[in-house]
Chain A
Amino acid sequence: MSTHEKVNILMVDDQPSKLLSYEVILSELDENLIKAGSGREALEHLLKTDIAVVLMDVSMPELDGFELAEIIHQHPRYQRTAIIFISAVHLTDLDRLKGYQHGAVDYIAVPVIPELLRAKVSVFAELYRKTQQLERLNRELEQRVAERTAELQERAETLQQLNVELQRRNQELDAFTYIASHDLKEPLRGINNYAQFLIEDYAEKLDDEGRQQLGAIQQLIRRMEDLLNSLLHYSRVERAELSQKELDVTQVVREALDQLQARLQGERVQVRLPQSLPTVRGDRAQLIEVFTNLLSNALKYNATTEKRVEVGVQDATNGGPPVFYVRDNGIGIAPEHHEKIFEVFRRLHARDAFGGGTGAGLTIVKKIIERHGGRIWVESTPGEGSTFYFTFGTGEKIKTEE
């Protein structure tokens, strides 16, 4: 026989000779054969071991086969245990078992035909084995599903925790920037005041060099104040709630130009809008700030006598968001600086060259664009000009922050 997992077959009969003959008949099946001389003994075996098939004589003293079958089938564990009766009695007696026919019940008439007995027991043993296998597989599968689910759940929880942590750190960082720039201003104001008082009260006791040095201190203080204000502004841009509306970008650019009017006057500047610009969803004030920053940079970093700036939108590309651009004929940016220019307080030129500034403008522009779900990048040829490209959003609807 094949190397199958042996199952237990319980043979119940009060006559040892019969048990012996069943044993002989069934030994070929290569299963575990257990003998019981009475109903009670059979029950004891059933309590101790898993039984696949019960083979029993109907007429036994004390507990007969039908009574035993009832007891067996009442036990939840044995409801499906196959019972084969060996009986000389009438078939009608089997009706008594109808109420308990959850499990397989069969019978063999005497005289027992060995092949038939073997065949029946073999079928039930195989059925038991297959059911067991199926149950085991099911359990394994269920366990694997449970394990995988737990694993996924754990990962989701970790991710959630990381998100919470990240959010908390971001808030802390924001709060830090905000508090730092406020608290740093106070001593700075004190330094400035006392420098002023020194000039006012002791001017005549100081020589020119002393007064010059005090002037230098005050200049540095003003620079520090500019830096702190930029930092403060940057943190505010990040913290401010966005009020998202559908905005006509042409209108936004016009408002930005209005704000820059003072600078546009008195210089030879040509600002072109070759086509009307589409609408986007965004925060009006922040979008205007993007354009005032980019436009003022376009004019600032421009040494030509005929300054030209063009604001436009690229042809729509396969469903993506509209790509706006601000192009100038200014001094341009070397390729190695294309990323650096977006870093906070990063300036590429001497402190007072090109009208000075703290170097926070492009950082703020980038922050605003990122808050709107978009991105910004630059293409530039030094000496010929720069073009800043940017989008607001990914082309899908931006979710409105609450």
Chain B
Amino acid sequence: MSYGPLLIVEDSDADFYAMKRALGNTLPCEIKRCITGSEALDYLFRRGSYTEAVCPPLVLLDINLPGMDGRAVLAQLKQDPTLKGIPVVMVSTSDNPADITHCYTAGCSGYLVKPLDYDRLVTSLQTLCKYWFRVVTIPQTGN
């Protein structure tokens, strides 16, 4: 199976680096990073400099983003008839029950609380990606 790149929307360089490092070479695809919510929407809607963008099989979406936050990005994706099929896993520091409920209600496919401990991050992210890429079948995307 060939996939488009895994889209990680994360404004923190440190967190992105840690996620990328934690995933290592376990992914069947590349990683594409967007820093802000509006950049992520440009990418997914193929706007601006992203007219040639390849649709990702999975989006890891940080909640706390500068400007438009992850919740707003999620809401827009789930309103689009084509894009709403892409699984979106929220990634956040917040384990606030209200945040978690809100995101699932808005249609996210998972919610990962960023662990402080790096080893736990490795386990969580690798398990998560194993689930989406090897256990379950997700819609074929990419060109």
Contacts and interface: CB of A to CB of B under 8 A. Distances in A.
Interface of A: 182-183, 185-190, 192-194, 196-197, 221-222, 225, 236
B94 interface: yes
Interface of B: 12, 14-15, 17-18, 21, 64, 93-94, 96, 114, 116-119, 121
B111 to A, nearest CB: 15
Contacts of A188: 116
A193 B114 CA distance: 12
A193 B93 contact: no
B116 A185 contact: yes
A188 B17 CA distance: 14
A194 B116 contact: no
Contacts of A189: 14-15, 18, 93, 114, 116
Contacts of B18: 189-190, 193
A192 B12 contact: no
Given A182-B64, A221-B116, A225-B116, A190 B12 contact: yes
B118 A190 contact: no
B12 A186 contact: yes
Looking at A186, A187, A188, A236, which has the most chain B CB atoms within 10 Å of its CB? A186
Contacts of B118: 192-193, 196-197
A236 B64 CA distance: 19
Contact of A193 (B14, B64, B94, B96): B14
Contacts of A236: 96
A252 to B, nearest CB: 22
A222 B119 CA distance: 14
A186 B126 CA distance: 21
Nearest to B62: A186
B14 A182 contact: no
A225 B118 CA distance: 14
A236 B21 CA distance: 33
Contacts of A186: 12, 15, 64, 93
A192 B117 contact: yes
A194 B14 contact: yes
B21 A197 contact: yes
Given A185-B93, A188-B116, A196-B118, 12 more contacts: A182-B94, A185-B116, A186-B12, A186-B15, A186-B64, A187-B14, A189-B18, A190-B14, A190-B18, A221-B116, A225-B116, A236-B96
Nearest to B117: A192
Contacts of B116: 185, 188-189, 192, 221-222, 225
B122 to A, nearest CB: 10
Given A188-B116, A225-B116, A182 B12 contact: no
Going nearest first, the 9 A-B pairs with the smallest beta carbon separation are: A190-B14, A196-B118, A193-B18, A185-B93, A193-B118, A225-B116, A189-B116, A182-B93, A192-B116
A190 B96 CA distance: 21
Nearest to B12: A186
A393 to B, nearest CB: 26
A236 B119 CA distance: 28
A221 B115 CA distance: 13
A149 to B, nearest CB: 45
Given A197-B21, A225-B116, A190 B15 contact: yes
A188 B14 CA distance: 10
A230 to B, nearest CB: 14
Contacts of B21: 197
A182 B93 CA distance: 7
B92 to A, nearest CB: 9
12 contacts: A182-B94, A186-B15, A186-B93, A187-B14, A188-B116, A189-B114, A189-B116, A190-B14, A190-B15, A193-B121, A221-B116, A222-B116
Contacts of B64: 182-183, 186
B114 to A, nearest CB: 6
Nearest to B121: A193
B31 to A, nearest CB: 17
A239 to B, nearest CB: 9
A187 B64 CA distance: 13
B61 to A, nearest CB: 16
A349 B52 CA distance: 62
Contacts of A196: 118-119
Contacts of A225: 116
A185 B15 CA distance: 11
A183 B18 CA distance: 17
Looking at A188, A192, A221, which has the most chain B CB atoms within 10 Å of its CB? A192
A192 B121 CA distance: 12
A240 to B, nearest CB: 9
